[in-house]
């Protein structure tokens, strides 16, 4: 029987879900059904949610885990009436912080993920637009504006990593696919002309060929593109190029996008324009 975990917020629910998933990920042997419930910002919504939580408890035969970032005290009081093991993130941390800082919290709903400073918000938007405009080698003439250029074979994670870097850190990331068009006469990969002058910005991604073949098979089943032999050849050529040109790279096979991005930032020393939210 699985147990249900609720991440509850009167805002987006991003903070409750992020922290909750991080905590629960430490318990690999426990089967959990995780549900995020954002914008529980009225008493009626809270009462309806209590009914849902009560139903989950009856179905599972175990009390749910309830992790919330509810600010409004009256709504929190309703949530407290639900059966479950409760972790109230704000009351757990805000009270000690108020005591330490000698002042009261503003208890403002949605403070973490609001637009806040317009410059930061617009920088985030511009970075995302840059990643989209410079996806898959689309506009190499803009590489002088890039903070980093991700390179690698098709379907190794370049696009999602570029977008994550933009959205979470404001890093202007372009990406360029290494293809057979970049092969030298001897069959080895050469550094494309568009990348040569930006060599100091390059960061490589690689992936286990078997995993790459499985990903490509979903897109083009039973094709040369998705064959294991083709994937092995492309990955070996890409890694050979990285070593030859002393381009730093990371194997994306077992890492999440978050891990790929933060490891890359740590290794390259890239400057974040803002902290993740």
**Sheet of strand 65-68, all strands in order from the earlier edge strand to the far edge:** 32-37, 3-8, 65-68, 85-88
Three-state DSSP state, 39: coil
Flag whether 155 is marked binding: yes
**Residue 109 labeled ligand binder:** no
Residue 157 is assigned to a ligand binding site: yes
Task: Count the helices and strands in the chain (H runs, E runs).
Answer: 10, 8
Is there a binding annotation on residue 187?
A: no
Is 273 labeled as ligand-binding? no
Q: Output the CA–CA distances (angstroms, integers) from residue 266 to 31, 198, 245, 270, in the order listed.
A: 33, 20, 20, 7
Half-sphere exposure of 128 (CA within 13 A, CB side): 9
204 among annotated binding-site residues = no
For residue 22, say whether it is annotated as part of any ligand binding site.
no
Residue 71 counted as an annotated binding residue:
no
Residue with tokens 């005290």: 73
Q: Which residues are annotated as a binding site?
A: 152-159
Q: Which residues are annotated as a binding site for ADP?
A: 152-159
């Amino acid at each position: 029987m699985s147990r249900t975990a609720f991440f509850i917020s009167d805002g987006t629910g991003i903070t409750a879900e992020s922290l909750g998933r991080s905590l629960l990920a430490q318990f690999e042997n426990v089967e959990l059904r995780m549900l995020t419930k954002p914008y529980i910002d009225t008493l009626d919504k809270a009462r309806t949610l209590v009914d849902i939580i009560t139903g989950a408890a009856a179905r599972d035969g175990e009390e749910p885990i309830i992790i919330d970032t509810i600010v409004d005290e009256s709504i929190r009081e309703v949530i407290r009436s639900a059966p479950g093991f409760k972790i109230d993130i704000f009351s757990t941390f805000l009270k000690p912080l108020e005591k330490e800082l000698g002042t009261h919290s503003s208890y403002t709903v949605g403070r973490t993920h609001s637009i806040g400073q317009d410059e930061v918000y617009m920088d985030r938007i511009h970075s995302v637009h840059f990643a989209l405009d410079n996806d898959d080698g689309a506009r190499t003439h803009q590489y002088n504006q890039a903070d980093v250029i991700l390179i690698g074979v098709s379907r190794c994670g370049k696009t999602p990593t570029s977008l994550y870097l933009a959205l979470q850190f404001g890093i202007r990331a372009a990406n360029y696919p290494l293809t057979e068009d970049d092969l030298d006469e001897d069959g080895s990969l050469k550094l494309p002309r568009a990348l040569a002058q930006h060599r100091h910005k390059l960061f490589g991604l690689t992936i286990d060929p078997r995993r790459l073949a499985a990903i490509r098979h979903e897109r083009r089943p039973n094709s040369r593109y998705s064959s294991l032999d083709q994937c092995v050849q492309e990955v070996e050529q890409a890694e050979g190029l990285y070593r030859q040109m002393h381009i730093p790279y990371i194997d994306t096979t077992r890492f999440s996008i978050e891990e790929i991005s933060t490891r890359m930032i740590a290794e390259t020393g890239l400057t974040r324009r803002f902290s993740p939210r």
